[in-house]
Structure 1
Amino acid sequence: MNVSAADNFRVMLYDASFPPYFFDKEDPRTGIVKDLFSAFGKETGDTFEYVRVPFKRALHQFDSGQIDIEPMSNPAWRGDSAVLGEYSIPMGVSELIVLFNADKYLPIESPKDLTGRTIGVVMGYYYPSFAPYFEDGSIKPHVLPSDAKLIQLLEAGRLDQAIMNKDFALYQIKEKRLHGKLKLSRPCSALDMMVRFHPSKKDAIPRFNKAIRKLLDDGTIKRIYDQYR
Structure 2
Amino acid sequence: MRLALGALLFFCLNVATADTPVRFVMADSWAMPMVQLEQGRPTQGILYDILLSLATQVGVPAEFHVLPRARVQNAMEHGEVDVRCYAAQSWLPNQSGDYIWSIPLFLQRDLLVSRKGPPTSVLPADLQHEAIGTVLGYIYPTLQPLFDAGQLQREDARNQEQVLDKLLAGRYRYAVSNQWTLDWFNQRLLPDQQLQAVAVLQEQNVGCYVRNDPNVPVQRILRTLLRMKMSGEIDDIIGLYTGQSDNTPSPL
The verdict on a shared fold, with TM-score over 0.5 as the criterion, is yes
Q: Does 1:68 align with 2:95?
A: no
Deviations, residues 199-222 of structure 1 (Å, cap 9, x unaligned) = 436974433332233222222111
In the comparison of the two structures, how many residue pairs are matched?
Answer: 225
Root-mean-square deviation (CA), in Å?
2.8
- % same residue: 20
- In the alignment, which residue of structure 2 is the partner of 1:222? 235
Q: 2:68 aligns with which of 54, 79, 82?
A: 54
Please list, as runs of the form range in 1=range in 2, the aligned pairs for 1:48-197 lying within 5 A after superposition. 48-83=62-97, 85-103=99-117, 106-108=120-122, 110-175=123-188, 177=189, 179-181=191-193, 182-197=195-210
Moved more, 54-63 or 75-84: 75-84
- Structure 2, unmatched stretches of 5+, are 1-13, 243-252
Query: Does 1:19 find its partner at 2:32?
Result: yes
TM-score where L is the length of structure 2: 0.77
Greater shift, 122-131 or 182-191, is seen at: 182-191
Confirm or deny: 8 A CA contact 1:94 1:165 kept in the other structure: yes
| CA positional deviation for 1:115 | 4.7
User: Does the Cα contact within 8 Å between 2:108 and 2:205 map onto a contact in 1?
Assistant: yes
1:212 equivalent to 2:235? Answer no
Question: What is the distance in 2 between the residues matched to 1:144 and 1:35?
Answer: 26
State the TM-score, normalized to the length of structure 1.
Answer: 0.83
Measure how far apart 1:42 and its partner are: 3.9
**Structure 2 SS opposite 1:185:** strand
* 2-structure distance, mates of 1:22, 1:201: 29
**What secondary structure is seen at the aligned counterpart in 1 of 2:167?**
helix
The question of 1:33 aligning with 2:33 is answered no
Rounded Cα–Cα distance in structure 1 between residues aligned with 2:98 and 2:151 = 32
Q: Is the 8 A contact 2:212 2:218 kept in 1?
A: no
**Structure 1: which 5+ residue stretches go unaligned?**
none
